Every structure is written in C-alpha cells, then in structure tokens.
Structure 1
Amino acid sequence: MKSLPLSLILSGLLLAGVGCQVKNDPTPIGGQPALPDGITLVESVERETADQLIIPYKKYSLDNGLTVILHEDNSDPLVHVDVTYHVGSGREEVGKSGFAHFFEHMMFQGTENVADEGHFKIVAESGGTLNGTTSADRTNYYQTVPSNQLEKMLWLEADRMGFLLDAVTQEKFEIQRETVKNERGQNYDNRPYGLVRERVGEALHPEGHPYSWSTIGYLEDLDRVDVNDLKKFFLRWYGPNNATLTIGGDFDEAQTLQWLAKYYRPIPRGPQVDEPEKPTVELDSDRYISMEDRVSLPMLYMSFPTVSLHHPDEAPLDVLMFILGQGETSLLYKNMVKNGVAVQASSNHGCQELLCTFTIVALPNPANGKTLADLEKIIRESLAEFEGRGVNEDDLTRVKMSIVSSMIYSLESVAGKVTQLASYEIFEGNPNYIAQNIARYESVTEADVMRVYRKYIVGKPAVVMSTVPNGQLDQIAGPDNWERYQRALPDYMATSDADLAYRRAKDNFDRSIQPPAGDNPRISLPFIWRSELGNGVSVLGAVNDETPTTTIRLSMTAGQRDEPLEKLGLAAITASMMNEATLKSTNEELSNRLQKLGSTITFSADNNRTTVAIRSLSENVDATLAVAAEKLLQPKFDSDDFKRVKAQTLQAIQSSKTNAADTVASVYQELLFGRDNPFAYLDIGTVDTVSEITLDDVKAFHAAYYSSKIASIVAVSNFDRDELVKKLLVFEPWGGEKVTRVALQPFPKIEGTKLYLVDKPGAAQSEIRIAKRSLSYDATGEFYRANLMNFVLGGNFNSRINLNLREDKGYSYGARSGFSGEQDYGTYVASAAVRTDATQDSIVQIEKEVRHYAESGITKPELSFTKNAIGQRDARRYETPTQKLAFLSQIVQYKLDDDFVTRRNEILADIGQEEINNLAREHLDVADMIIVVVGDKQTIFPGLKELGYDIVELDADGNLVE
C-alpha cells in the first residue's frame, strides 16, 4: 500500500519540517536585538516558501521555567493569548476530584491587583473575548483581543499566575462551589445521557485511576473540602515551570519580550513536575452496566481501552474508527442506519495523555423493535464482517484526507494555530509536531489497521453500557455483571495555613497599575466583491488568502415559515433529504467522494431560510461544487431514504421533549407567536405533523421553494472574484419559479404576566424564560440600539443579571437576556437554568434587575464600559472565513449597505444615557412579559404560587394540563 500522495492533501504544499528552517541557537538571529535578562531563545521555526503548511514560531524559556511560544500573524489587528497548565483532573487525588475544573472557575475571581469579576470586565471592555477549559490532562485560559491590548492581557495572566492566592477567600470558594454544582446539574445531571461517560469511566478504569472520575468531579468531594485544599492544589501545579504561554497575532516581538520579562520573570517557579505515569488499563472480561434515565430512546455505549495520545498505534486506530463508524461509507451505517435498525450508530477513538478509548454508540429505531442486545449482536457481526472485508486503498485515501483536511481547516484562525502550538508543546515538548502528526497518518497501511483491530478490538473485553428510559430495563444489552463500587475515600485531613508554602514574587514596579492600551489598531472590513450568475443568483464574496480554503453558503428565503401547519417539519425533512442520494449517485458514493476531497456539503433549514453550506480545500473546489450541484439539481428522493430520515426526525422530536432547554424554548415561542404561525414551533416539527408528511409532500416543497429566484450565494476564498465566479457557474443551469412568502398570522394578545409551568419530575434544575415579543431585526435602527441598552443588563458576563444569579447568589451556571429578531418579528428573553431550590428567588431576582434598570437606567461607568467593549470588538470580527461569511450573509439577508458597520460605530459613539434610559423604559416593562418554567413541579410549585401570578400548567407540547 502506497502512502497518500501529498498532491491529494494540497497542491504544492510541503509538510512542516520539510523545507522549513529550525534553528536551535540561543544567540540573537536575523538581526534580533539582545534578549531581556532571564529569557533564552530555544528555537526558531521559519517558513521558507509561502505555500508551506507550517506554523512559524519562536520558542523561548524564562529562567523560572515558563515556556513561551510566539507566532506572528499580521493579517488581522488582533492577538490571541493562551496559558496552558499541564494539569487536569488526571493530576487529582482520590477524594478530591474536580479540583482542576474548580480552579478554572477560581482563576476568574480576582487577584491581589484585579477586583472580583474584574478579569471578565477588563477583557470585555478591551473588546475581547475569553474563556477557560479543563480536560483530564490540561487546563487553559485564553483571550482574543485587539492587538493594542496585548500588554494588558499579559499583565492579567501573570497576575493570576503569581498573585492569586491572597485574594482567594472562603466566601468566593463557596460561591464558585455552587456555580460548579449548577454546571454539573446543567451539563450532566439534567441532560439526557449526561451521566453515561462518568459511569463508563468508573467501570473502565481501576478504582483510583485518575480517569475513573469525570473532569467536573463528584459533588461529595467538593462538599468535603475547603479553600485551603484548593490553594494547596494551586501551589502544587500552577507554577510557571508547569505552564506554556503562547501568543499569536499582530504584535511587536521585541516589545512583547520586554513585557514578558517584566510581568512573568519575577514569579518563582513551582515544585518539580514530572511526566505523569501511564497506569495500564486492562479488562479481564466484558463489563455490562446499565442505567435508567429520563431519555426517549435506549442507547448502547461500548468502550474498549486502547493506547495513549500520540502512541504509534493511535493513527491506525483512528483510521479504523472512520472505516467502522464515521459517515455513510462506514460499516455501522450500512448495517444499522441505512436499513432502519438504528437511528444512529457511530464509532469514535478519543485520545488522552494516559489512555485512549475506542467507542461504539448506537440508538435503536423503535419502529424496528430491536433491543440493545440486538444492537450489540449486529455490532459484533459488523466487526466480524470487517475482518473478512479488510481494508482497501480507497478506505485509506478517504480517511487520511478527512483527517489531514481537518488539520488544515484548524489553521484558519490565530486561535486555532495557537491551540495547536500549545497542545503540541504540552504533550510532545515540540510545537513543530504538525509535520510528524501528518506523517503518522500518511504512513498508515492496510496491515497497520488490521493489526490494531486484532490487538485492541476483536475479541477484547469492553465496557458495555445500556442507558434506557425509566422502567425499560428489559431493553438492556445484558444483565449487569459489574457493580458500581462504593468509593473508598481516605480520611479527610484539613489543610491548614501552615501547610501552604506560598511563593512570593518580588517586583521593582507597581503591579497594581493596570497597563494602558496601545494605539487603536486600524480595522479593515473585508473587501466585498459582487457578481451575478446567468440565472440571476447574486454572488457576494471576499478574498481570504491566509489559508488555501474555500467556504460557500447558498441560501434560499424559504423555511419553516412556509410550511403548512399540518405539515410542520417539512422544510427540515426536505433539507435532510437533499443530504441523501441523487439520481446519479448513492449517498455512500457521495460521501466517499467528499471525504476523499476533504470537503463537506450540508443542507439545512431554519425558520426563514434553507441553506447549503459548502467547505472545501481550494484545490478541490471544482470537484466539491460538482457534488453540490448534483445534490441541488438532481435529488433522488428515494423512498427508503425518506423512511429513514422521517424515523430519525421523529426520534429527534421525542428526544427534545426530554431536554428541558428544548421544551422551554418551544413553549415560550408558541405562547408569544401563536399556534397559527409555523415558525413558532421547533424547526423539526411535532410528532403528529411529521407522522403525516409523505414523500410527495417533500417533492412538492422542493419544487415550490428550491428556486434560483429566491437564492443568493456568499463566498470566502483565496481565489479572486473572476476565478471563483467561473467555478460557481456550475449552478447556472438551476432554475425555478418566482416564490411568494407565506404571510404571518396575527400574534396572540399578551394580557398581563402569567406563569406557565411544565412539569419535569425529578429535574435537577429549572429552566426559566421571561419573555415578550419585541423588535424585528434592524442593523442600524432601534433593534441595534436596544441591544446596546441591554448589554449591561444581560448581554455580557459582567451583566447585572449574571452577576446576581451566578456570582452573588450561586443559583446558576449562567444567566442572560437579549433581543433577537428576524425581518418581521422579534423577542426579548431573559433566561437561566437554576438550582431547583432557587427557582422562586431566581425569578424574583431577574424581575428585580429588569425593573430597576427600567426605572433607574444605566450609570455613566456602565455606559463607558458598553462603548469600550462593543466599540473595540470589530478587530476580531472578520478574521476567519466563517466570520467573513457571516458578515456577508448579514448584508444579503437583510439588504444592508456595505458600510452598515460604520453607521453602527457612529450610533455607538453618539448614544447617551438619556437615549439608553428611554429605550429601557420603553422595552423592559415586566408587565408585558410571560414567565415559562420547566422543572420539578412537586418541589417548586409552592414557591411559584407565592409569586402571586396566575399559574397555567402545560405539558411538553404546550397543551393545557387538565
């Protein structure tokens, strides 16, 4: 078997390390001035030709052990700053799970020199965005800001690396402990299938293995510790010698090095950190476990332990994953989904530093009557079929291209490049690992794939987990033969102040002074070009020459709004059918072609539009567009495909009823816009309406609404206008009749505030929506001004509503409010998922904040914060092809002038307190709003009655409960 030709990856593209120059010379190079004291240049990776697929960087080391990676990219006036610590839940002790994630929260709670919640405020006011993430193996904190804010970000990150602990109080600890509990409730306990991975992790790993608990940890562990335990964890793992600081974007290298020396060099190194041991994970036999849950469908989850991150066998196992269970070319799709046995079946190979797992997941189609035992049998038969079938050259070509193209797409943003550099440094000690990474997949052979299949999968024990709806244990794959152990927790030993060995930095400057911003960067909007195809389809485009990729969005102004009420879900099902077979090709053949091109084509429909999203490596765009045109112009509308798509849609609807967030959204939209408007329902329809949709209905909707007369194209590519338009001529044969939009029906009258309650027995949280009909979309009108008004109330992390419910009360993982609108209608919604026992007071607090803001208005500091935060965001709004595409789509969908952003900036600069306050009084009258709550009625109903509102009980479909 030959390796995949590089020409298939990208024409003229060389791999990193082949034709790139790596210098390992600590002396100044290329005329670079002498480095600041305490900073050493480790290596420099440079691009020798413009078309090399590498990420140029310079790697430095500070004498306190901090690793610094600098990647200059002057294409946009922004910088991305990432600090990755080599610590995650895998470094935690038994009985102290969740510490790494907990500390991710604490790192945003202020330092000696930054006020509580100040980190969010400073970054937002700088026009930036930020977050932090925790995995089993690492924790990272990152900001993307305009380039003139770099010094401020370095000061912020250094402050929480070296000056955090004295600001960490027991009170902050208690609040964030509640926030973490709310996060667990929202993302694990209150989510369908949310506990599956935790249960599988317990069964797969030996007790005490660092992967035997989830990253968020156990609530009982969080409840048994105090703030000093958390401080001790920080002192052990959060030293500069266990961190990598990566900066990408538009910056001056010499100045940046001076700032690094100033802010980071005084921070003392922490304890020695060695590479973690990789304990062996072996199962002696299949472990069957099961769980009842509030789900609509049973799910089978099989997990095999394999290797570890970047192990030589990882790449062939990834290839095996694709062949077995990724996409329409896979065996699991053929044997389980294509024939209607399952609504979903796939495989995955997730890799972490200590262990990778090969998983197979399947959900049965209830119309077929199969149990999870039946599904397991088919899965094992599919594995046996693979052994007989083997691996062919087409498999390798397809899979390798899918993997390599995803790496190329990840380079479209500075954040993506920084993330790769940081990850490679943390786990390989080599930011330039991209060459070796691609080479790993290039070298995979048929024999490699068969070898790892036999070594890790066939005949090997796995954890087989069955998750079934409450009361359906007869559906499980097999009787449980492994019992969830009672965790053996060590006696708790409190950490005293004397146990904490603080490391104090010594500065020769006043670190409490926040660095000023540099000169405002010059923002350049994407240069827009226009054209039109011969059939009248308008084309709006922009050039992006930073990566050799092309992104296209073809849209038609027809969607759920245009469906008959008795056929709700028709637009979505029609779009799904467009993703299936054509008159010329089967779905498997289409999928095979696209995977070998490294391309994706997806049809979808929402309330008002049907969209074809196309993404391709530019060298393959002609072949990709040929597939897109075939799908658009020659759909087969096969009856077997229709049966499968319809069954999948029905199951998606049933599943949405078990998700409280989906339920509350569908209920409040129906109440606001009425049952006579199709868009008031979930896009996928209802069980009753979808059950009535026929294949003829799909064909009729396609004939009526898939018309070039209501279509437009937006595109971002490294091709210029003439080149790309020539390629888009493949759509010129497309015709169609003129289309008239369906008129909106009158909206129901809202008469005073009512509270609508949907019972979700046993829910760990309550979903709350306080909502009203409001302004339709207007990019430079009152809609835009109203969102400016809402920014400090509920439009950012430091908003009044979020600080109240999350940071002050610990009721919620996050709370927000905002205006959203289409051309003909809009809403104002305040939302939160809250602790069940805090449901009543959460409603009180949200209403209090809204009323107070409407009565008292915005403060001068809040207005200044709003102007600064929103006024500087443009520096990061047009970086990636996806962002440019969204900008172009706005112009097309809402018929905006090209300079609408300039007009917005003028509005922002001119708006004052009086106008903001008038908008608040006009649009924030609580008496005009309805309240919808989805939660455990038995627990929350007494408190809701005390609010004094009329309570109307509804079911999950929005029908009155008698």
Structure 2
Amino acid sequence: MSTALLASYLLFSCSTTQQESTALPSGVSLVESVFSASEGLNIPYKKYQLDNGLTVILHPDNSDPLVHIDITYHVGSAREQLGKSGFAHFFEHMMFQGSKNVADEQHFKVVTQSGGNLNGTTNSDRTNYYQTVPKNQLEKILWLESDRMGFLLESITEEKFEVQRATVKNERGQNVDNRPYGRLNETMNQMIYPREHPYSWPTIGYMTDLDRGTVADLKEFFSRWYGPNNAVLTIGGDINEAQTLAWVNKYFGELKAGPEVQNIAKEAVSLTQNRYYSFTDNVSLPLLYISYPTVYGMHEDEPALDVLANILGGGPTSLLYKNLVKSGIAVQAGTGHPCRELACQMNFYALPNPQQGLALANIEQVIADTLVEFEQRGVNDDDLQKTKVSIETGTIYGLQSVSGKVSSLAHYQTMLGNANYTNEQVARYNNVTKADVMRVFKQYIKGKGAGVLSIVPQGQEALIARANNFELPDVSNPPETANLATPIMKNVSSFDRSIMPSASENPQVKVPELWRKNFANGMKIVGTENSETPTVSLLLSLEGGPLLDPIEKAGLASLTASLMNEGTTTYTKEQLSNELALLGSSISVGASGRNTYVQVSSLVKNLDATLTLMLDVMFNPSFAQADFDRVKNQLIQGLEQGSKDANTLAGRALKQVTYGTNNRIGFADSGTIATVSAISLEDIKGFYKQYFSPKKSSLVVVGDIDKADLLPKLFYLKEWQGNDYPLSADYDLPSITPSKLYFVDLPNASQSVIKLTRRAMPFDATGEHFKASLMNYPLGSAFNSRINLNLREDKGYTYGASSYFTAGKTLGRFTAGASVKKEHTYDAMVEIQQELKNYQTAGMTEAEALFMRQAISQNEALSFETPRQKSGFLRQILQFNLPVNYGDEQTDIIKNISLVELNSIAKKELAKPMQWIVVGDGQVVRPQLAELGLEIIDLELAK
C-alpha cells in the first residue's frame, strides 16, 4: 500500500466534511481549515485565533466518547534568566494549586471526579497541561484551564510557594540525585553550552536558584510568559465544533494578552576541541558519554543527522552494537540525536563489560575507530529505508489516540506556527540521500570537538577516559539579573467564574465487540477489530513464566526469553532487526509475572511477512553459546547496578519480606546474581523444550483485520504441539511479623524509600479485591488521596505517596509508601501509620465515597480508546476467565456499595498486621528509626 493510499485510508474515519460558513463568535477569527487529504499524511482540523492572541485548534474525532484538551505555552527553561532557573518547571506545579475560583488541590479533584486524567510537563522549550475526559466534561475543563491562565496569581501564597518548592526538591532528589547516573544530562549540558546559553541549566533548575527565588519573582515570570498570546489551545475528540468554540470564547476571550513574545535566536554551538570532565557516582559500572553539538530542531540537516545516528548506534544493526556490544567490550552502547528548539546533540554512550576491562579510554578509542569505519563504509540503501519506514510507522502509531493527534498538532503549531506539518515531516526524511548523510557527518562530527564525560564508581577514578581539561561553571553565585519589569497580570470577568459549569449525562460506553476461537492444542484466542489505523498487534501469553523457575535458578524464564530475541537458525539478531526495521514491525519475547509472552506490532500490509518472522523467532531460536554468554553477563551487570538504586532495592526487599526465600515469588523476575550465574545454556534449552508450549497459552489480537482474514494466517500456531505442565500454587509463605522493621542500608542515598506492606487477597473482578480497591481509592490511589495530600502537599516530604492493592491469580498484596527526604524518614512513616489508623477507625466520608463513585465510574469512557487498552481488556478476560460484560457488574457495585460496607472493609483490611521496609542512608536514617520503638532487622537481600 502506498503512503498516499495509507494516509487516505488511515484518516477516513476521523475526517470531517466542510461545513457551511457560519457566523463566528465576536473576537474569533478562522485562520485555517485542513481536511483529509487524498495524498500524504495529515490530521484534519480548524485553526482559529482570538483577539487576545490565543491560538485554538479543533480536531473532531467521534470514534470514542472522550475529549483531549492540551494547552501549550511557548515557555520552558530556555526563557529563564541566568540565576533564576527552574521557574517554568515550578509553574508546572503551581498551576495545579488552585486559582481565584478553583480551590487549593481542586483542579486534580475536579478532573479525577469527572472521570478524567491529567498532567503537565515542562521541558527546555515549552510547558503543556493536558486532560482527557468524557466528552460531557469539556466545558468544565475549559473553565478550569482559563481560570488558571487568567486568575492564578491571586491565589499564590507564601505557604503554597514553600510547599511546592519542597515538592520540586523532592522530585529532584528522587529523579536526579538518588538515581544512578542521574546528573548525566545536567553535567553534559554544562560542558557543551556556554554558561549564558539557556540550555546550560536543567529544566528542574538548580536548587540554589530555587532557594533564592521569591513569590514576587514567580509572579513576574508568570505575567511575562503565560498570557493567551503565548499559548496554543488544542482540543480533539467527540466535540460539537460550534459549541466548543463558543465555550472557548466565553472562558478565554476576555483574558488580556501578555507582552509580545519573540522566538529565541538559534545560534550555532560548536567546540574547537574535546572537553573532558568526570565525576564519581553510586554506580556499579563506569559510563562514557560523548556529545557533539550539531544543529537545531527542524533544521534542514536534522533528518540526515538522525539517519547517521541510527547507522552509528541505533540498535543491533548499528556499527557501535557490532564493535562494542557484540564484541563483548561493552554491555550497553548506543547513539542518539535528540533535538530541541535551539540545539541538537549527537550523543554516544557505552557501559564497559567488566570481563574485558573497565577503562573508559578503551571505549573512547573504539567509538573513534567506529567513526573512521563509517566514513570508509559509507551509507547503504537499507540505512535510509529503515529510517524512512520508522518515521512513517511512528507517525501512524501516534495517530492511534486522540491525545497523540492533539499532541502532534500542538507541538508543530508551537514550534513552527504550522500545525499541518505531519506530511512535511515524513517527506523530510523520505528526501534524505546517502550524500546528505556523509555531508552532515563531515560537517558536524568529523574532527569536531565534543563533551566527553566519564562517570565512575566511587574510588575508581583511574577508569576515566582522560584527565579533566574543563571545569564546570560555578552556579552557586550567579550574576545579578534585572527584574523582568513586567506588570503583574490582572484580569476581570464579565460573568461569575466562581460557578463551576455542570455536565450533561455521562456518555454511554460500548465495550469492544470481540470474537473468540479455541484451538485443539490448548490455545485460546480472543480478538477485536479496530479500523482507526491500519495496524495489528498480537500478544501471545504462555502461562507460567518466572513461576516455573527452580528457586536456585531464578531468572531462567527471563533469560530464556531474552535469548530468544538474539536471533534464529535463519537470521542473526542483526539480520532479524534489519528485516523488522524495513517492515516497520516489532517482535519481542519476554517473561514477567506469571507469563512468558511474545508481543508483535505490524502494519496490516506487512502482517504476513511479520508473522513469518514471528514463527521463526518462536520455533527456531539459535541459542548460540556466544549469545548466551553475552546476554547472561548483561543481565548480571543489570542486577549489580540495581543494588545501587533505592527503588530497585526496595522492590527486592518487598518480595523477600512478603513472600520469603523458599518461593520463586520471593525473588525478582530477573532472579539474583547468584541464581543467574548458576544458569547454563543447557538449562535454557531444557526450559524452552519443556515450557514453550501452547497448552496454557492465549492470544490477544487487536487491529484492522477480521476473524475470517486472520485465522488462516495462524495455521502454524494451530498446528503447534507441546508438553503440558503443572502450575503449583502451594507456596511456603513466611508468617507476618508485626512490630518489625526491615532495613536496607544504602550509604549516601539522598532519599529513603519506605513501604508498609502485607499479603492480601488474590485478584477478583467483582469480589473482595475489587471492593477493597474501591475502599482504598480516597485513602491512597487518587492524587487527592489522604496519604498523598498529607505527605506531598501538606508536609512536603515527598514527590508522591500512595497506597494500593495489587493482585494476581493466587496472591495479592497491600502496600503504602513513598520516596521521602531522608531527614524526614521517621516523620513520613508516622504520618502514613496515622492516616491508616484514622481511616481504619473512622472510615471514609460521604464526600469521599461520592468522589470515588464518580471518578471510577465516569472514567470508563477512557477505557477502550487505543489498541493497547483494548488488548489489556481482552487479556484480562482470558487470564481470569471473565464474562465480557463484567464491567456492568463493577459499575453496579460502584453505584450501590454502601458507605457502611466500605468502612467495614477498611476496618478489617487496615487492622491486619503489616511490616515496614526502609531503604536509605543508615547514618542519617537509623537514629530516626529507633524512635519508632520497633524491632529493626538488617535485611540481607538475596544476592
């Protein structure tokens, strides 16, 4: 199928016909109408502009009863002043803290209670806020968004400012300081960009800058950049265009424009020589990271540089994979060319293999030799074709959801002023030639200077690539900067904005129509047709997975699955990856939980070829000794690295304490270093022979293909034969020991991970587990839950806290916890215990019960939009043998379960004995833990 035919076919279901010209609301101008094209890829929409400069894009799509709303402000960290970093990201937090007519924490609550989901993101170039809600909630969301655009500043207080400053510090602690290699990007940006360049500081900001910031600074920054003339409001979904435009005009039309906004000049960055820098980190393997500054986002040379990056280090077909990973010199290596509005970088990275030495100088030399090899080798036809196919298929998959289409429109409009850029973007890559790739290599990489960063384990400084010849700038004392001199934003409204719009009746949701087929060999198939995009996804699950591992060889299922991705008797891994890339398909084998799975994605036109490759992967794995040795070593190195990460250690401790070491379920799916080390290639072959069988298998199919067309293509799966095997549920579980605390010491950890946990009931769709989950929703599942509001919003101890029931076929667990500031480990634990005690004794309130009922029941409109969501729904039906309409019974329970019953469940479930698990810096945390009066056990994790 040609690209043109594909595009026409793809967009038919969501295209609109041109309407009669109608009068627009006063102050609204139609800028552009884009309709489905007969050639090329595009997304139909209409673009309007309000008199105050707000750009509005409407994309109708009635395939599901939902609406996605995105408002993107053309302000990110690049708009900040030197010494005042982190303000754009800070506002991502402040924008959820209420506005003049929306109470503190009410934004999250209103959207969640409306059955929607929401979030915000900030990067160097833009900030966006987005919500997906049932279609009847659109007016309410426009009211919310307009109130924080026009009336946020009146609600900002010193108290809110300080709470969010603490939250941002927790976010940095959790995602940067407490994460192995977490300071990599921040450091590299300091190395390659001048101090005054807006990309030289991190989006999250320097904590010293945030500490100096004031409420007045924040208000001035908002007034400068968050006016309607610097924003794009994009709405997609099941909308009435005229009504939507009227609402937009009502809620946004009166807001005053902010100061004029100009694009930032794009000035090329280059280095005359390599800049070397190194630092130590709490890691197990050293890492070499090399970054060349290149062009800027949407530059004419960006596509050719992306092709170059793919050739050099984009997966198993790349030169770096061959020279570093396949050769055994590194356990990981790759290349990428990420682009931002003002600058792009060509990045190379590698983690050396301890079996061949850890010196980063050797890695640097191999990368340099690879660049020489590329220049001699040149560019072949497949190099170009793979990238072109990748862009086309990536674009198609991005159109599977309304949110994907809205995000694309918003991005292109913000960055280019042209929302209708989808087809042109694909064309840019289709036009790349071999000569282009060689030219950009010589122009931007060959002989040019780069930032060369070595990150090494503490005490192993001798491993760095080369002695430092560069010093990071001192960011603690920036020069004085002038105030923005922007008048503080002040808006007035002609109507009463304190009245929240009501919503019409919740839309009816249709459960996907499905078909079933059982093969005589034991395989159960369930599928549903989805014609919104010409794609097909298959998920084949073989029940058992890691549960079938011998305890002493835990990780066998995972390692077997990983090795099946390493090639077949027909294709090497490199050849297989090349074939899939040319098709725009993917095939992956993995093992987790209680399943081994084979996952396949394909365009409809390439399904036959993809299924042929799938069958080869399934039935002809090569299981070569060299591949086994390499993959096993990579897994061991990954496990070793996990011992430096607080969240990974907490996950291991949780399994071990809850389920013990006499059961396979007490260990991570990937096993331990000792158990993986004990696995031989003969074990792999034996496991595959015994358990790779259709006897307990299920296949979920979602895509643009019907049952009659698909089943003949599954002939070989129908004829597949294999052994049956037992699955035991007889576990030797440890007794629950209340009043004990299990501690794992992680020296110098900046945060502590705390978990209060116990075993709980297995999964059910309408019984005890389901009702307990309803009970827990206001306690710890929603953003506005008691635990999160206490620890994050009130106390500022954490970036996020929660409680939840998780369950499978035979076992379940209840857990409450968070990653918290290490100096507040004790305080956070006490608060969690108190919240559970209060909830157990007094239960939820009528208001919380109403919130739970509305949030969960109305969220159904968002449940079946994408192929992934439909696949998850079908898989659950198969795995737990559920009726297709089990959701109707759930809805009935949500509606009718009494507050008395919910509180009875809370009283029973939260009174059961639980155990504390804490991972943190013992020197700081241990003295705090002593105040709890619990027996503290130093937990020796299985290794």
TM-score by length of 1: 0.96
State the 1:757 CA deviation: 1.1
Q: 473-482 or 233-242: which moved more?
A: 473-482
Residue-by-residue CA offset, 1:839-858 (whole Å, 9 max, x unaligned): 00000000000010000001
Asked if 1 retains the 8 angstrom alpha-carbon contact of 2:288 and 2:454, the reply is yes
Equivalent AA in structure 2 for residue 734 of structure 1: W
In structure 1, what is the equivalent of residue 558 of structure 2? 572
Closer/same/farther in 2, CA of residues 148 and 14 from structure 1, 3 Å limit: closer
In structure 2, what is the equivalent of residue 144 of structure 1? 132
SS at match of 2:280: strand
Match of 2:916 among 931, 937, 946: 931
State the 1:930 CA deviation: 0.4
Aligned partners of 1:665, 1:501: CA distance in 2, in Å? 50
Alignment partner of 1:197 is 2:191:
no
Match of 1:853 among 809, 823, 839: 839
Aligned partners of 1:339, 1:10: CA distance in 2, in Å? 42
Aligned partners of 1:507, 1:307: CA distance in 2, in Å? 45
Aligned partners of 1:575, 1:181: CA distance in 2, in Å? 39
State the 1:737 CA deviation: 1.0
In structure 2, what is the equivalent of residue 70 of structure 1? 58
Match of 2:227 among 239, 242, 267: 239
Asked if 2 retains the 8 angstrom alpha-carbon contact of 1:323 and 1:399, the reply is no
In structure 1, what is the equivalent of residue 537 of structure 2? 551
In structure 1, what is the equivalent of residue 670 of structure 2? 684
Equivalent AA in structure 1 for residue 935 of structure 2: D
SS at match of 1:100: helix
Alignment partner of 1:261 is 2:255:
no
Alignment partner of 1:39 is 2:50:
no
Asked if 1 retains the 8 angstrom alpha-carbon contact of 2:522 and 2:696, the reply is no
Flag structure 2 segments of 5+ consecutive residues without an equivalent: none
Aligned partners of 2:661, 2:402: CA distance in 1, in Å? 45
In structure 1, what is the equivalent of residue 651 of structure 2? 665
Residue-by-residue CA offset, 1:556-578 (whole Å, 9 max, x unaligned): 00111110011011010000011
Equivalent AA in structure 2 for residue 943 of structure 1: Q
Equivalent AA in structure 2 for residue 294 of structure 1: N
Aligned partners of 1:530, 1:96: CA distance in 2, in Å? 59
SS at match of 1:300: strand
In structure 2, what is the equivalent of residue 867 of structure 1? 853
Alignment partner of 1:465 is 2:453:
yes
In structure 2, what is the equivalent of residue 724 of structure 1? 710
Residue-by-residue CA offset, 1:622-646 (whole Å, 9 max, x unaligned): 1111111110011111111101110
Aligned partners of 1:123, 1:237: CA distance in 2, in Å? 25
Asked if 1 retains the 8 angstrom alpha-carbon contact of 2:286 and 2:358, the reply is no
Aligned partners of 2:147, 2:763: CA distance in 1, in Å? 41
State the 1:677 CA deviation: 1.0
Asked if 2 retains the 8 angstrom alpha-carbon contact of 1:392 and 1:446, the reply is yes
Closer/same/farther in 2, CA of residues 265 and 863 from structure 1, 3 Å limit: same
State the 1:745 CA deviation: 2.1
In structure 1, what is the equivalent of residue 360 of structure 2? 372
Alignment map for 1:278-297 (pairs within 5 Å): 278-297=266-285
Aligned partners of 1:475, 1:789: CA distance in 2, in Å? 53
Equivalent AA in structure 2 for residue 541 of structure 1: G
SS at match of 1:116: coil
In structure 2, what is the equivalent of residue 816 of structure 1? 802
Alignment partner of 1:185 is 2:170:
no
Alignment map for 1:45-60 (pairs within 5 Å): 45-48=34-37, 53-60=41-48
Equivalent AA in structure 1 for residue 573 of structure 2: N
Asked if 2 retains the 8 angstrom alpha-carbon contact of 1:299 and 1:362, the reply is yes
TM-score by length of 2: 0.98
Equivalent AA in structure 1 for residue 927 of structure 2: P
Match of 2:291 among 284, 303, 326: 303
Asked if 1 retains the 8 angstrom alpha-carbon contact of 2:224 and 2:486, the reply is no
SS at match of 1:194: coil
Closer/same/farther in 2, CA of residues 730 and 440 from structure 1, 3 Å limit: farther
Alignment map for 1:594-633 (pairs within 5 Å): 594-633=580-619
SS at match of 2:778: helix
In structure 2, what is the equivalent of residue 440 of structure 1? 428
Closer/same/farther in 2, CA of residues 581 and 543 from structure 1, 3 Å limit: same
Q: 543-552 or 130-139: which moved more?
A: 543-552
Alignment partner of 1:876 is 2:862:
yes
In structure 2, what is the equivalent of residue 332 of structure 1? 320
Aligned partners of 2:519, 2:10: CA distance in 1, in Å? 40
Alignment partner of 1:700 is 2:686:
yes
Aligned partners of 1:536, 1:769: CA distance in 2, in Å? 40
State the 1:500 CA deviation: 6.0
Alignment partner of 1:946 is 2:934:
no
Match of 2:405 among 404, 413, 417: 417
Q: 820-829 or 275-284: which moved more?
A: 275-284
Aligned partners of 1:727, 1:238: CA distance in 2, in Å? 54
Closer/same/farther in 2, CA of residues 52 and 392 from structure 1, 3 Å limit: closer
State the 1:554 CA deviation: 0.3
Equivalent AA in structure 1 for residue 541 of structure 2: S
In structure 1, what is the equivalent of residue 641 of structure 2? 655
In structure 2, what is the equivalent of residue 13 of structure 1? 7
SS at match of 2:243: helix
Alignment partner of 1:314 is 2:302:
yes
Aligned partners of 2:734, 2:322: CA distance in 1, in Å? 47
Closer/same/farther in 2, CA of residues 10 and 740 from structure 1, 3 Å limit: farther
Closer/same/farther in 2, CA of residues 136 and 12 from structure 1, 3 Å limit: closer
Aligned partners of 1:313, 1:859: CA distance in 2, in Å? 60
Equivalent AA in structure 1 for residue 283 of structure 2: V
Aligned CA RMSD, in angstroms, stands at 1.8
Alignment partner of 1:794 is 2:794:
no
Flag structure 1 segments of 5+ consecutive residues without an equivalent: 1-5, 24-28
SS at match of 1:412: coil
Residue-by-residue CA offset, 1:579-628 (whole Å, 9 max, x unaligned): 11111111111100000010111111012101111111111111111111
Aligned partners of 1:58, 1:343: CA distance in 2, in Å? 49
State the 1:831 CA deviation: 1.6
Aligned partners of 1:809, 1:867: CA distance in 2, in Å? 28
Aligned partners of 2:820, 2:790: CA distance in 1, in Å? 12
In structure 2, what is the equivalent of residue 914 of structure 1? 900
Asked if 2 retains the 8 angstrom alpha-carbon contact of 1:43 and 1:60, the reply is yes
Aligned partners of 1:784, 1:248: CA distance in 2, in Å? 33
State the 1:52 CA deviation: 6.0
Q: 736-745 or 457-466: which moved more?
A: 736-745
SS at match of 2:250: helix
Alignment partner of 1:88 is 2:76:
yes
Aligned partners of 1:470, 1:732: CA distance in 2, in Å? 55
Asked if 2 retains the 8 angstrom alpha-carbon contact of 1:625 and 1:730, the reply is no
Alignment map for 1:119-138 (pairs within 5 Å): 119-138=107-126
State the 1:495 CA deviation: 6.8
The percentage of counterpart residues that share the same residue type is 50
Aligned partners of 1:346, 1:488: CA distance in 2, in Å? 34
Closer/same/farther in 2, CA of residues 873 and 567 from structure 1, 3 Å limit: same
Q: 82-91 or 731-740: which moved more?
A: 731-740
Alignment map for 1:704-783 (pairs within 5 Å): 704-783=690-769
Closer/same/farther in 2, CA of residues 468 and 852 from structure 1, 3 Å limit: same
Match of 1:100 among 88, 95, 101: 88
Equivalent AA in structure 2 for residue 41 of structure 1: L
Aligned partners of 1:487, 1:192: CA distance in 2, in Å? 22
State the 1:30 CA deviation: 2.5
SS at match of 1:302: strand
Residue-by-residue CA offset, 1:865-909 (whole Å, 9 max, x unaligned): 000000101100100000000000100111111111111001101
Asked if 1 retains the 8 angstrom alpha-carbon contact of 2:4 and 2:41, the reply is no
Aligned partners of 2:814, 2:16: CA distance in 1, in Å? 55
Aligned partners of 1:604, 1:683: CA distance in 2, in Å? 10
SS at match of 2:502: coil
